[in-house]
Amino acid sequence: MSLLRDEGVVLRAQKLGEADRIITLLTRDHGIVRAVARGVRKTKSKFGARVEPFAHVDVQFFTRGSEFPGRGLPIITQAETLGAYGGRLALDYAAYTSGTAILETAERLTDHERGQPALQQYLLLIGALRTLAMGAHEPGLVLDAFLLRSLAVAGYAPSFVDCARCGLDGPNRFFSVQGGGTVCGDCRPAGSVVPSPETLSLLGALLTGDWGRADASEPRHRREGSGLVAAYLQWHLERGIRSLRLVERS
Amino acid sequence: MYEGVVQDLIDELGRLPGVGPKSAQRIAFHLLAADPADVRRLVHALVEVKDKVRFCATCGNVAESEQCRICLDPRRDVAVICVVEESKDVVAIEKTREFRGRYHVLGGAISPIEGVGPDDLRIRELMTRLADGVVTELILATDPNLEGEATATYLARLCKPMGLRVTRLASGLPVGGDLEYADEVTLGRAFEGRRLLDV
C-alpha cells in the first residue's frame, strides 16, 4: 500500500455507485491513470469541481499495489487545482465541444500504454486547453491544431507540402489519408482528393503553430481542413472519436 | 452455484445497479426467509410500476397517466418552467417547497464524450412548449457539473432570442460546510454570486 503524487489533466469522469466517480487522468509521470474519487457527487464533497473534466490538478493517490497499476483502482485522496479550464469552457458551447474532442483524442492516443508516461502528449494537452480557455483563436482551429500535433507526437505526422511517399518537393496537389498526406501525381493512390491549396496551407500552419496564417483563413477552407483532419485521425485510430460528431464549428 | 430458481433470482437481482453478486445472494436469501405476504406485495409493486408508470407527454417526468401530477395541477404557475436533467431532480426541488411553476425533464445532459448531443435530449419538446408565448421565465436547474453547465449554456443561447427571462440556479458554498475545504471554482462562484446583507 502506498501513496503516490502526480499532476494530471482530468479527461473523463464516469459515475460509480451512489456518489462516487471513476476519474480518468492523463498524468505527467504515470500516463493514463484511472482512479476512484469517493463521494465526489455529494454537494459537500471535498473535491468539488477539482476532478471535473478539463481540470489540471496536483493529485495524490492511494494504491493497493506498490505502483500503478495496482490491485483494483487507486483512490484519490487529495486534489489541488493547478488550472481550472472547465468553468470557462462550459460558458462557450463551441469551445466545450472542441475541448471534449481534445480530451477524448488524448485518451485514445495514450491509453494503450497505461502506466507509462506520455510527457509530450501531456504538455500538448495542457497547451491546447489553455489556448482554448483563453479564447484567443476559433475553437475549431485549436482542435484541429491539437489533433494534427498529437498525431505527429504519436508518430503519424502528415505531410502538407512534400510528397509523403517519394519525398518530391511540394507543393503537391493530391491528398491521401492512407498515403500520409499530400502526394505527387505519380504516387497518388486511388481515392486521393484534391483539396484547395489554401486548405493545405492552413493545415500546414496548424501543424507548425503559425497562428497568424491560421487565423486569417476563410471558413470554407477551415471546413474542408477539418474534414481532412477527421478522416486522417479516424484512419490512424481505426475507430472514430465520438465527440467529433458533436463539435460545433463556426 | 445454487440450484434452479434460487440461482435465477440471484442472477436477476445481480443485474440491478449497485447490486454485486454477494449483495444479490443476501437479498435472495432474505426474500426466501421473508413472509410470503411481504414478497407478494413486492412482486405486486414491481408489476404495477412497469404497467402503470410512463413519462408525462408534456414535461417528461414519471407519471401514472398521460400527464404527470404537476402538469395537471391548475395551481401551478404556467409562466415559469424549471429545466432539470432527471425526474429525481424534480423530487429534490419539490422537497424545498420553494418552486410553484412547472418542470421540463431533459433526460440527461449534453456529453459529447459519451456521444450524447442536443438531439438526444428533450430539447425539441421544450422549444415546442415555449413557442406559444405563455412561458415568461425559464429556470435552468441542470446539475452544477461540467455537462450540466454546458447544457445550460446551450439552452440559454437557444432560448434568449425568444425574449424569455433565462435564469440559472445559484451555485456556491454548501450550507453547513467549512470554507477552507471549498474548491477554487465553487469559492469563485460564491464570490461572483455574493449578495447584499439587508439587515
Q: pLDDT tens-digit profile of A85-116?
A: 988 899 999 999 999 999 999 999 987 766 67
Gap between the terminal Cα atoms of chain B: 68
Last residue of a domain, one of A84, A100, A127: A84
pLDDT at A1: 65
- pLDDT over threshold 90, residue A58: yes
Q: What is the pLDDT of residues A130-159, one digit of tens each?
A: 999 999 899 999 999 999 999 999 989 998
pLDDT at position A69: 52
By C-alpha distance, the chain B residue nearest A97 is B112
Answer yes or no: do A200 and A134 share one domain: yes
Domain range B4-52, CATH class = mainly alpha
DSSP string of B64-126? SSSS-HHHH-TTSEEEEEEEESSHHHHHHHHHHT---EEEEE-SS--BGGGTB-GGGTTHHHH
Amino acid at A75: I
Domain boundary among A84, A117, A135: A84
Choosing from A84, A102, A137, the residue where a domain stops is A84
Identify whether residues A137 and A49 lie together within a single domain. no
Residues A76 and A158 in one domain: no
Compute chain A's Rg from CA coordinates: 20
**Structural domain count, chain A:** 2
Same-domain status, A232 and A191:
yes
Mean pLDDT, residues B69-95 taken together: 94
Domain that holds residue A219: 89-246
Distance separating alpha carbons of residues B31 and B11, to the nearest angstrom: 14
Instruction: Give the closest-approach CA distance of A14 to chain B in angstroms.
Output: 10
Same domain, A177 and A204: yes
pLDDT attached to residue A70: 46
Run of H or E including B52:
helix B36-52
In angstroms, rounded to a whole number, what is the distance separating the alpha carbons of residues B20 and B18? Answer: 6
Q: What is the pLDDT of residues B138-164, one digit of tens each?
A: 999 999 889 999 999 999 999 988 889
- Whether the per-residue pLDDT at B54 is higher than 50: the answer is yes
Whether this model's pTM surpasses 0.80: yes
Neighbours of B117 (CB within 10 A): 18
Judge whether residue A202 has pLDDT over 50. Answer: yes
Classify domain B69-196 by CATH number: 3.40.1360.10
Residue A33 three-state SS: strand
Cβ A93–B176 below 8 Å, yes or no? no
CA distance B66 to chain A (A): 31
Three-state secondary structure call for residue B137: strand
Cβ–Cβ < 8 Å for B81, B139 = yes
Residue of B nearest to A89 (CA): B150
